[in-house]
Amino acid sequence: MFLPSRANLFSCTLPLLSLLFCASTFAVFAAEEVNVYSYRKPELIQPMFDEFTTDTGITVNVVFAKKGMLEKLKSEGVNSPADLVLTVDIGRLSDIKNAGLIQRVESEIINSNIPSNMRDTDNQWFGITSRARIIVVSKDRIKDGTVTSYEDLADPKLKGLVCTRSGKHAYMVALTASMIVHEGIEGAEQWLADLKDNLARSPEGNDRGQVKAIREGVCDIAVINHYYMYQMISDPEQKLWADAVKVIFPNQKDRGTHMNVSGMAMTKHAPNRENALLLMEFLSSDAAQGMYAQLNGEYTVKPGIPLADAVIAWGEFKQDTVDLTAIAANRAEASKMADRVAYDD
């Protein structure tokens, strides 16, 4: 019996002649279920799972968790039902790998879809979307050109004008780790200490809260992940916050804007390994990448996927292409650095 390759599995389209071929293809591969532990909010990932199930007949069972996933996987051990872990931030992917809870995955499809700097050098985790750590500034109170880089955030001329979330939060830790990669430990620590001196208030809240603070006049400048701006635009109340700021992609004259990822990894004891691999390949495919872009306003890791109109309106920008494994390797030092400069005090 002819078995179509996985390379053909997610290139199927529904109209007319391809319909019967796709049906037979999916019948060959479809089987039972795949179990996912996800840090990502249900509304951000469920549409992709629904599409995968429609295409393959494989049921996706999801446990959503805001915290404690690593501990859960450790306690379950070999008896864990989880096949895949989906999470945000390079830090959490690195932590799960370092704990020995995931396994190497070999897939030509995944490797061709996801650039090497967006996946683990050992093929244990893979980025599936990327997010820019942007700077937003008050449209009314900050002149164009005042802030163009992360380094500018530490300039004494901005004293009392900057808001950020906790220096120990994963997103800030990743940004600090990227500064360590580019500036060295001494340079990054001086940057973080000077940034602290420029804060308008003690670090608090989430990324949306920083934009709200600018709208309310608490500060004039903040650092956030880009997709929160996209999400705020569609919320009647939060659109007022978003409309008060201008988006800046930092460091366009040198290394480019810091990028982080949401990612996926196959668990060490995955009971449904074949189905898990199919889901991983699907999440790296044109179909899923397009859904991430249009529904969530995220940047895709696969090149050439159309972005959401609102994201396109911000314009093209230069991305920092530093290997994310280098950022992961400096996370522990970045976290200690936040303590040393008493960033949250």
Residue ranges of the chain assigned to CATH 3.40.190.10: 6-130+260-311, 132-258+313-340
> Is a pLDDT exceeding 60 seen at residue 180?
yes
> Is a pLDDT exceeding 60 seen at residue 27?
no
| CA dist., res. 118 & res. 141, Å (int) | 36
Look up the CATH architecture of domain 6-130+260-311: 3-Layer(aba) Sandwich (3.40)
> Is a pLDDT exceeding 90 seen at residue 28?
no
| CA dist., res. 334 & res. 26, Å (int) | 46
Asked if residues 180 and 186 have their Cβ atoms less than 8 Å apart, the reply is no
Going by pLDDT thresholds of 50, 70 and 90, the confidence category of residue 32 is confident
| CA dist., res. 64 & res. 79, Å (int) | 19
| CA dist., res. 114 & res. 300, Å (int) | 9
Do strands 126-138 and 221-225 pair parallel, antiparallel, or not at all (unpaired)?
antiparallel
Specify the residue for token string 């915290």: 67
> Is a pLDDT exceeding 50 seen at residue 25?
no
> Is a pLDDT exceeding 70 seen at residue 12?
no
Quick one: residue 339, left, alpha or beta (phi over 0 = left, psi -120 to 50 = alpha)?
alpha
Q: Which of 22-26, 118-122, 154-158 has the lowest mean pLDDT?
A: 22-26
pTM: 0.85
| CA dist., res. 256 & res. 249, Å (int) | 8
Superfamily of structural domain 132-258+313-340: Periplasmic binding protein-like II (3.40.190.10)
> Is a pLDDT exceeding 80 seen at residue 238?
yes
Quick one: residue 37, left, alpha or beta (phi over 0 = left, psi -120 to 50 = alpha)?
beta
- Average confidence score pLDDT of the chain: 90
Q: What share of the chain is helix, strand, coil (3-state, %, to 5)?
A: 50, 15, 35
pLDDT at position 6 is 44
pLDDT at position 31 is 52
| CA dist., res. 118 & res. 103, Å (int) | 17
Q: What is the mean pLDDT of residues 272-293?
A: 97
pLDDT tens string 40-96: 888 889 999 999 999 999 999 999 887 888 899 999 999 999 999 999 888 889 999
> Is a pLDDT exceeding 80 seen at residue 11?
no
pLDDT at position 66 is 74
pLDDT at position 190 is 98
Q: What is the mean pLDDT of residues 197-202?
A: 98
pLDDT at position 198 is 98
pLDDT at position 79 is 96
CA 186 to chain centre: 27
Going by pLDDT thresholds of 50, 70 and 90, the confidence category of residue 305 is very high
Contacts of 289 (CB under 8 A, 6+ apart): 113, 128, 129, 300, 301, 302, 305
Going by pLDDT thresholds of 50, 70 and 90, the confidence category of residue 16 is very low
Q: Per-residue b/e over 235-265, b at no fewer than 16 CB within 10 Å?
A: eeebeebbebbebbbbbeeebbbbbbbbbbb
Please give the structure tokens belonging to residue 200. Answer: 């308008």
| CA dist., res. 212 & res. 201, Å (int) | 14
Q: What is the mean pLDDT of residues 226-239?
A: 95
